[in-house]
């Protein structure tokens, strides 16, 4: 009798699993990171790993050292080793489409983290709203100096986020330009996100404008670092408004010192948590309850989550960077 009872219980369990469309077991998630260009990517990695671990996932993690072909090879290895979902921070947004195509052939879902992957039927995309970031940068600087010469060092031409930053910046600057209050004297995309590119473009800005510039808006803190090098050489730090993005420790300290004007704090913990939630739900075939917007990648409208950034300046560091736990007050004092 007990034997038949066990059979009935087992049959009911299997039936319930089919009805709910859920898998059991340990979700196996691949995390592909482009590289550790700066400390924010280490934070992203740590948040993702911590959150996935809390959700009971087995994690396959690889860093590509900014080599897209290496990342494609790493993705293949993860798929071969049973990854059910890939979380990808890509290097080249077009070439990374090969990862998505390869994954789909093996019935593996792909989530693009921070950087959209173009030209493929990407499954999900989680990021901070780059257009809003550009708006915040330009709004804060124009609130300080609504007149003068402005320059944009937009960010890598290989990253779709750069164009979105530019669109946000221009949305704010355009009315000032039409009134003749602001002159946009420079607007260029860079080869990559490096400090070297920030220095190169800032030197061009200074040379072309004979040391007369009001504000420089950069697409990242690495670019802002490079801009600071060029500005320091000319004795112009603190005299030129400078905006960055990512809230690197050095840059937040430069805001405190008066050399950088503002920065953008991204909700990295929230980005990681949402990404992990999606990944585990996909692996276990559980329904997703969050609301999605849709971003075009040139091939499809991708289910997307765009989180809001926060402007950081000298007056609100305690309320933003410190209170969020991004850095402690002690770290900022060192």
Kindly write down the DSSP assignment for every residue of 232-279, as one continuous string: HHTT-TTTSEEE-SS--HHHHHHHHTTSS-EEEE--HHHHHHHHHHHH
Residues 148 and 16 in one domain: no
Residues 174 and 143 in one domain: yes
The values of phi and psi at residue 295, to 5°, are -115, 135
Residues 11 and 99 in one domain: yes
Residues 189 and 326 in one domain: yes
Distance CA 199, CA 134 (A): 20
Coil, helix or strand at residue 65: coil
Picking from 84, 104, 83, the residue whose alpha carbon sits closest to that of residue 285 is 84
pLDDT in the model for residue 38: 86
Instruction: Dig out the tokens for 299 from the structure.
Output: 């091939």
Residues 198 and 315 in one domain: yes
Residues 234 and 273 in one domain: no
Residues 72 and 168 in one domain: no
pLDDT in tens, 206-259: 999 998 999 999 999 999 999 999 999 999 999 999 999 999 999 999 999 999
Picking from 187, 211, 221, the residue whose alpha carbon sits closest to that of residue 201 is 187
pLDDT in the model for residue 11: 45
Identify the segments of the chain with pLDDT beneath 50. Answer: 1-4, 6-20
Please report, for residues 157, 232, 251, the alpha-carbon distance to residue 225 in angstroms, rounded to integers and kept in the order given.
19, 11, 7
Q: Is the dihedral of CA 86, 91, 94, 95 positive or negative?
A: negative
pLDDT in the model for residue 25: 87
pLDDT in the model for residue 211: 86
pLDDT in the model for residue 7: 42
Domain that holds residue 202: 130-266+311-333
Residues 103 and 190 in one domain: no
Residues 329 and 240 in one domain: yes
Q: What is the pTM of this model?
A: 0.88
Residues 193 and 320 in one domain: yes
Within 13 Å, how many C-alpha atoms sit on residue 161's CB side? 28
Residues 175 and 44 in one domain: no
b/e map 285-323, b = 16+ CB within 10 Å: eeeeeeebeebebeebebbbbbeebbbbbeeebeebbbe
pLDDT in the model for residue 279: 98
CB 151 within 8 A of CB 116: no
The domain that holds 75 is classified in CATH as 3.40.50.2300
Domain count, the chain: 2
Residues 114 and 226 in one domain: no
pLDDT in the model for residue 22: 54
Alpha helices in the chain (DSSP H): 2-20, 39-54, 68-80, 97-105, 130-144, 160-179, 195-208, 221-233, 249-256, 268-283, 317, 329-333
């Amino acid at each position: 009798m007990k034997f038949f009872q066990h059979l009935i219980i087992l049959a009911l369990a299997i039936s319930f699993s089919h009805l709910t469309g859920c898998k059991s077991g340990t979700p196996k998630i691949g995390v592909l990171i482009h590289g550790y260009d700066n400390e924010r990517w280490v934070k992203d990695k740590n948040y993702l790993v911590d959150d996935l671990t809390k959700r009971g996932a087995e994690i396959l993690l690889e860093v590509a050292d900014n080599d897209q072909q290496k990342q494609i090879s790493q993705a293949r290895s993860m798929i071969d080793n049973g990854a059910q979902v890939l979380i990808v921070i890509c290097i080249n947004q077009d070439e990374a489409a090969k990862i998505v195509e390869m994954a789909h052939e093996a019935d593996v879902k792909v989530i693009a983290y921070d950087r959209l992957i173009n030209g493929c039927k990407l499954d999900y995309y989680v990021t901070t709203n780059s257009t809003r970031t550009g708006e915040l940068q330009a709004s804060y600087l124009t609130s300080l100096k609504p007149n003068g010469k402005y320059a944009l060092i937009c960010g890598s031409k290989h990253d779709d986020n750069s164009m979105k930053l530019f669109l946000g910046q221009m949305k704010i600057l355009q009315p000032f330009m039409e009134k003749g209050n602001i002159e946009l004297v420079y607007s260029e995309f860079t080869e990559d996100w490096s400090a070297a590119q920030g220095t190169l473009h800032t030197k061009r800005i200074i040379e072309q404008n004979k040391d007369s510039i009001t504000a420089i808006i950069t697409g990242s803190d690495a670019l802002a670092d490079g801009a600071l090098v060029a500005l320091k050489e000319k004795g112009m730090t603190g005299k030129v408004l400078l905006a960055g993005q990512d809230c690197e420790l050095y840059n937040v300290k430069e805001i405190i010192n008066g050399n950088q004007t503002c920065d953008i704090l991204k909700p990295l913990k929230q980005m990681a948590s949402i990404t992990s939630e999606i990944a585990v739900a996909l692996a276990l075939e559980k329904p997703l309850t969050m609301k999605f917007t849709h971003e075009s990648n040139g091939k499809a409208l991708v289910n997307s989550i765009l989180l809001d950034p926060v402007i950081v300046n000298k007056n609100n560091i305690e309320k933003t960077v410190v209170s969020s736990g991004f850095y402690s007050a002690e770290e900022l004092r060192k």
